[in-house]
Amino acid sequence: MANYKVGTQEIEKINADALVVICEEDGVLAQSSNKVLRRHWENFHQAVKDRKSSREWFCTLEKSAGCTTSHLLLESVAFGGPGNHDEPLKSAAARAVAMCRQHSLRRVAFIVHHKVAPLKAAAILEGVILGDFEDNRYKSNPLSRPELDIQIVVSKEDKKETRAVLERTKIICDAQNNARLLVNAPHHELTPRGLAREAQLLAKSCGLQCEVLDHKKLKASGYEPTWQVGRGSEYPPCMIILRHRPKKPLRKMHIGLAGKGMTFDSGGLSLKTKETIFKMNRDMAGAATVLGVMEAASRLDLPIQMTAVITAAHNAVDGAAYYPGAILKAKNGKTIFVENTDAEGRLILTDALHRLGEEGSDIIWDYATLTGACMAALGPGIAGLFTDDEELRTVLVQAGNQTGDDVWPLPLVPEYKPWLNHTLADVSNLSRIPIGGAIHAANFLSHFVPKGARWAHVDLAGPSNTERPWRYYSPGATGFGVRLTVEALRLLTGENK
């Protein structure tokens, strides 16, 4: 965790252990009146030009510089232009704090002089908070990690705006890191009921309404798919509903968020292999994203009516488990032939989508680690976006560009829809044609979207997790989708909050 404050001091007066300047070609130090700093900058710049130095320059700062700070760290990156997100800047900030930690420098000051300093400051803080995340809950003897003191130093004119932007950044990134903690947790710790408990705690701490339907209520209410998927486990399934009801919603719209909360996906009787099964505690990343978005929405006091529905289950195998060949009835009345018990995410999402209709949502976005096929199509870094609604597609793609939570549109091909037909039931959970699996899953979901609702589906099987260091993320959960959604909501409502 990192504390931060915004300052406007002159460089010499900054009270910190390390000064960090992340610069483009003509960085701020190029014009500095401080000769020592300027010389460091020129040497660094020349070395980068001559390709003698990497993008980093780390040194102790000699007394003659007249600074209170002991170390100087320079980084050279290409800043993002319009329509191009600031990922390199965030990564540079993350590298900077990692280097400072290595050298036990706890108080770190970033100097941000730029035409759009508040936005660049936000990117830096984002890189710091997301990059400094370390999940050591399960280590018996974790290294102690002192809290960092971060200063973001801007010009006096930029101070007010920077403060406001950073407050927002901090709320969003903290919510995202909370989502990462949920995704990393093993299945026996974060069971469906455990997920419900987390939602209740969150609701209490930030003023959301929370309702949980346990497995008995699920069955009694006709949410059969979720009940069926979860019935083979000793950790029973449930439905979690969170509501954000601002006092003065500015628009009539009612946003509904659905999250796949598979706290473990063994594949069921259509069992997964040992190569993939051990990762399947993370199959609730969609649910974690939705919780993160609700946390951020309520802490930011977004003036939008929002409801989240998470269906949570543990897809396991025992004598009572649901079987391939079962025929289920979804709550909208459609019957589903279960050809493969590993295509379970789409089953439990039918209940979440339906419930959002009952809750009155007119714009519904769902988040799910739904298909390996989506990862095969787009690789590990990008989520698949499915929607026939042009405005939703535009805001989500733009939000992805602006936040670094990249999404790429994939088509809901109407000609593929009949491939889900079944002779005995209305629809099968598996396509007759196996290739293009991400599209079939999305087409399947489209059968269960409440009438009249505008819908978008985000398949985040790839980017919800990273096996290797990626941008500013260490291996593990990324919390993908929190920033995306909060930004998309801002674009959709035109609110500058």
Binding-site ranges for Zn ion (CB under 5 A): 262, 265, 283, 345
Which does residue 430 bind out of ligand BES, Mg ion, Zn ion, none, counting CB within 5 to 8 angstroms by kind? ligand BES
111 CB contacts (<8 Å, ≥6 apart)?
A: 11, 14, 19, 20, 21, 28, 153
- Least CB distance to ligand BES at residue 473 (A): 16
Q: Is 160 a catalytic residue?
A: no
- Least CB distance to ligand BES at residue 207 (A): 32
- Least CB distance to Zn ion at residue 344 (A): 6
CA atoms within 13 A on the CB side of 91: 17
Which does residue 132 bind out of Mg ion, Zn ion, ligand BES, none, counting CB within 5 to 8 angstroms by kind? none
Return the amino acid letter for 384.
Answer: G
- Binding residues for ligand BES, per CB under 6 A? 265, 283, 340, 342-345, 369-373, 430, 437, 461
Length of the chain: 497
- Least CB distance to Zn ion at residue 497 (A): 35
- Least CB distance to ligand BES at residue 210 (A): 25
CB atoms within 10 A of CB 370: 30
- Binding residues for Mg ion, per CB under 5 A? 265, 342, 344
Tokens of 80: 């993002």
Q: Which is nearer to ligand BES, 17 or 342 (CB)?
A: 342
Q: Choosing from 346, 355, 483, 490, which is the catalytic residue?
A: 346
Report the C-alpha gap between 403 and 471 in whole angstroms.
13
Contact 169, 93 (CB under 8 A): no
**Residue in the block written with tokens 């009694």:** 220
Element (H, E) at 3: strand 2-7
Q: What distances in angstroms separate CA 128 from CA 152, 187, 271, 486, one per listed residue?
A: 11, 29, 40, 19
Report the C-alpha gap between 435 and 112 in whole angstroms.
49
* Rg of the chain taking only CA atoms, in angstroms: 24
- Least CB distance to Mg ion at residue 267 (A): 5
Kindly tell me the burial class for residue 147, based on how many C-beta atoms sit within 10 Å of its own C-beta (0-12, 13-18, 19 or more).
exposed
Report the C-alpha gap between 430 and 88 in whole angstroms.
40
**Nearest residue (beta carbon) to ligand BES:** 372
Q: Is 346 a catalytic residue?
A: yes
Q: Which is nearer to Zn ion, 345 or 481 (CB)?
A: 345
Report the C-alpha gap between 414 and 348 in whole angstroms.
23
Q: Choosing from 159, 272, 393, 497, which is the catalytic residue?
A: 272
Report the C-alpha gap between 344 and 265 in whole angstroms.
8
Q: Which residues are catalytic?
A: 272, 346
